[in-house]
């Protein structure tokens, strides 16, 4: 009679685990590491929003959805902390710097009406997170007026109160909001790991450069990996 192998011991969330990464393995403690998903909003990933208004082909970002969904699903299964961000502005546009409104000299700009409501305005359809990655009740959603998730938000305070010391940062776009957030986090003393397949850009060369800048010089801003390495470490 075949003897069933004993089940492996369940992962202890307070034990550090290592993920294969560049420039060297990323060690993290699941209980104090949050998954931070940046700006996976309809305004960036669907036609008719802010991304398209800037002249971008929004379909270029959609390859990030499946790996984010997989990682998010596993992260949730382990009961780990999840946070989402949304870039956007108050309906009265009080938090929109005039320079940001004017940038690009486009015919339509932030706050104007588009097919998904007012562009990059909180509460509008385009500002919402795509259905595939929709936050669950209890997951933190940070509304940010800028590119970095720490600027003019309570993200740092929330991380302090919850004892979060490390971040897995995913989302869009690699060289803009992901990079800015990783740099802000780094300056505040947090370690960031970026899975390259879970971040995306309208521009492949800037995506590559964005990742390169994070991991260069011994990980000057953080670490880069592939989501399959994180999933393997979470087995
Ligand atoms: C941009 C972002 N690209 N979420 N925002 O304007 O990266």
Average pLDDT over residues 160-174: 98
**Which atom in ligand 1 lies closest to the alpha carbon of residue 175?**
7
Atom of ligand 1 nearest to the CA of 173: 7
CB of 87 within 6 A of ligand 1: the answer is yes
Share of the chain above pLDDT 70, in %: 96
Contact 54, 106 (CB under 8 A): yes
**Does 191 participate in catalysis according to the annotation?**
no
Q: Are 189 and 167 in contact (CB under 8 A)?
A: no
Which listed residue (39, 43, 128, 143) is catalytic? Answer: 39
Does 177 qualify as catalytic in the annotation? yes
Residue 175, preceding peptide bond in cis (omega within 30° of 0): no
The overall average pLDDT reported for the chain is 95
Tell me the pTM: 0.95
The values of phi and psi at residue 27, to 5°, are -100, 130
Q: What is the mean pLDDT of residues 207-229?
A: 98
């Amino acid at each position: 009679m075949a003897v069933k192998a004993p089940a492996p011991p369940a992962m202890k969330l307070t034990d550090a685990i290592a993920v294969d990464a560049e420039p060297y393995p990323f060690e993290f403690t699941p209980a104090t590491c949050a998954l931070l998903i940046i700006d996976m909003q309809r305004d960036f990933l669907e036609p008719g929003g802010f991304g398209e208004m800037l002249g971008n082909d929004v379909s270029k970002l959609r390859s990030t959805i499946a790996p984010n969904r997989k990682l998010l699903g596993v992260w949730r299964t382990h009961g780990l902390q999840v946070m989402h961000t949304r870039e956007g502005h108050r309906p009265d546009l009080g938090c929109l710097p005039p320079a940001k409104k004017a940038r690009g000299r486009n015919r339509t700009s932030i706050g104007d009406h588009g097919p998904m409501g007012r562009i990059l305005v909180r509460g509008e359809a385009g500002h919402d997170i795509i259905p595939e990655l929709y936050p669950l009740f209890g997951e933190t959603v940070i509304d940010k007026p800028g590119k970095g998730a720490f600027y003019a938000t309570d993200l740092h305070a929330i991380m302090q109160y919850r004892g979060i010391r490390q971040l897995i940062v995913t989302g869009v776009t690699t060289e803009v909001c992901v990079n800015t957030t990783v740099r802000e986090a780094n300056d505040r003393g947090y370690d960031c790991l970026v899975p390259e397949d879970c971040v995306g850009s309208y521009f492949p060369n800037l995506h590559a450069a964005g990742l390169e800048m994070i991991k260069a010089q011994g990980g000057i801003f953080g670490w880069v990996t592939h989501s399959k390495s994180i999933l393997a470490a979470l087995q």
